[in-house]
Amino acid sequence: MDAKTAVAKILKAEGVEHLLCFPNNALIEAAAIEGIRPICARTERVAVNIADGLSRVSSGRRIGVVAVQYGPGAENAFGAVAQAYSDASPVLLLPGGVERGRQGVPPSFQAIYNYRGVTKWVETVNQAERLPQMLRRAFTLLRMGKPGPVMLEIPTDVLKEAVPDEAVTKYTPVRRAAPHGDPADVREAVRMFLAARSPVIVAGQGILYAEAWDELRRFAEAVQAPVLTTLNGKSAFPEDHPLALGAGGLSGPKTVDHFLKKADLVFGVGTSFTRSHFIVPIPPGKPIIQVTISEEDVNKDYPVAHAVIGDAKAVLAQLIDEVRDRSRGDSRVAEEVKAVKAEFLKEWMPRLTSDEVPISPYRAIWDLMHTVDRWRTIITHDAGNPRDQLVPFWESLVPHGYVGWGKSTQLGTGLGLAMGARLAAPDRLCVNLMGDVAFGMVGMDFETAVRSKIPILTVMLNNGLMGGYDKYLPVSTERWGLRYVSGDYAKVAEGLGGYTERVEKPHDLVPAFRRALEEVQAGRPALLEVLTREEAVYPKYW
């Protein structure tokens, strides 16, 4: 069979149901013939974002796959691939490549030379007969170890060559590996943990990829330790749980700061402990234990006192066995968590329930959270103020009920993530909270949701400016209005075929949310444009 057919059949064997694409690649038609649904976005960037969201909400069990054309297609996808790489998201990218006789001839763009810094592995297929083995290698790297995007650049002439039928018909899918930690390392981790007076558990998105949320809850309850999550790990631990501190990003609830400051041991599981402006910092001098799938994470940004290398689910099961019958005693941690949380909400309730006009973004978030069924909802955000205003107050109840991202902060990413989430979980309400500037980056891809029948709800907070940039652009804004933007985005979305409303008063929020939810339930994407005021101050205690 020809190479493009071989690729399509292998993707089918690996469980791929959707091929994100734009606008031309021989793999698109070959995949369609095999029953894989092609979804064409308006830009390569959003195509990758959709695949990214699909992989995240599937815990990496289903891999988002993207096919774009060589040259400009591969060039335009770069930003979204960099975002997936920074957030350790497993996405398979299959760009076309210039024919082998033109490789190395300027100005030909070759992915292998340009994507090495933002992929877990990138290679060019130089012979069609190598495709089955190289795809096996790609799926192995996607399903084992630390997640990340993988790219195979396939030249256009290679796709026309023959692949031995037997290499494809005998292809078997790659299974995920879940290595256990060294028993001695596990015992030492437990010894250190039980010796601490005020340990704090930091849970990252490795919990979500390992589907280790039950084990995390059982371990936390066994040792009576409070749990905070990273931004990417938010929803790995139920935030209505008595031991839940919430998530720490650039913003976070007071509980995160309170317990981190008093901690005498920080126990990280499924987290890389990356130091970033957008991640809650670990206070200096705190001993750290780290459970991670990748040795590359250890002593990367923080000195680690002890590490256990292994899959989060497997290691947590070992930890639970080790702490059995070794109780930490009658802990009053839950009472302290409850008290600090109540104090925090009391401080912020005036904003969360504000009747002021323009609408407070916190009121919009609060009303949305109390209107949707969070047990059946997946929400994501965009970069900047929508993220920072959502994180401290949105209480996630179920795994993957929140798709957090932000080690890179590319405006517009949330729209594609929400569409990918809906593909991965068609029975869930998928919500994208974004700002007006983010809509300017990717707004035309709202039409992709309409055309492709991917019913998501987008709530757009429109304050008419780039929020939070006043301190960076005072003269530029005063003289030339650089920070301000304008537009009636509900009209734009209406023109793109979705259901839209513009909400200007706080008491109209809940009725508008309910009408939009009815439209989404009926299969129609909806966008609510909420006119808000700028509130640059968000809860940041560190």
pLDDT per residue rounded down to tens, the chain (542 residues): 999 999 999 999 999 999 999 999 999 999 999 999 999 999 999 999 999 999 999 999 999 999 999 999 999 999 999 999 999 999 999 999 988 877 877 888 888 899 999 999 999 999 999 999 999 999 999 999 999 999 999 999 999 999 999 999 999 999 999 999 999 999 999 999 999 999 999 999 999 999 999 999 999 999 999 999 999 999 999 999 999 999 999 999 999 999 999 999 999 999 999 998 888 899 999 999 999 999 999 999 999 999 999 999 999 999 999 998 776 656 799 999 999 999 999 999 999 999 999 999 999 999 999 999 999 999 999 999 999 999 999 999 999 999 999 889 999 999 999 999 999 999 999 999 999 999 999 999 999 999 999 999 999 999 999 888 888 899 999 899 899 999 999 999 999 999 999 999 999 999 999 999 999 999 999 999 999 999 876 777 77
Residues 500 and 416 in one domain: yes
Q: Which of 169, 204, 235 is the last residue of a domain?
A: 169
What are the DSSP E strand ranges found in 133-212? 150-155, 199-203
Question: What CATH number is given to the structural domain containing 148?
Answer: 3.40.50.970
If you count DSSP H runs as helices and E runs as strands, how many of each does the chain have, helices first? Answer: 22, 19
Residues 324 and 402 in one domain: no
**How far is it, in rounded angstroms, from Cα 355 to Cα 335?**
32
- Look at residue 174 and tell me if it is in a domain: no
Whether 392 and 252 have beta carbons less than 8 Å apart is answered as yes
Residues 430 and 487 in one domain: yes
- Look at residue 8 and tell me if it is in a domain: yes
Residues 395 and 496 in one domain: yes
Residues 420 and 451 in one domain: yes
Residues 152 and 214 in one domain: no
- Look at residue 537 and tell me if it is in a domain: no
Residues 331 and 387 in one domain: no
- Beta bridge partners of residue 433, listed in sequence order: 381, 459
Residues 326 and 389 in one domain: no
- Look at residue 10 and tell me if it is in a domain: yes
**How far is it, in rounded angstroms, from Cα 146 to Cα 306?**
19
- Look at residue 345 and tell me if it is in a domain: no
- Look at residue 178 and tell me if it is in a domain: no
- Domain interval for residue 221: 183-335
What are the DSSP E strand ranges found in 89-139? 91-93, 96-97, 121-124
Single pTM value for the model: 0.97
How many domains does one find in the chain?
3
- Look at residue 73 and tell me if it is in a domain: yes
Residue 307 has what DSSP assignment?
E
Residue 295 has what DSSP assignment?
G
Residues 490 and 361 in one domain: yes
Residues 256 and 302 in one domain: yes
Residues 412 and 285 in one domain: no
Q: Which H or E run contains 75?
A: helix 72-76
Residues 10 and 123 in one domain: yes
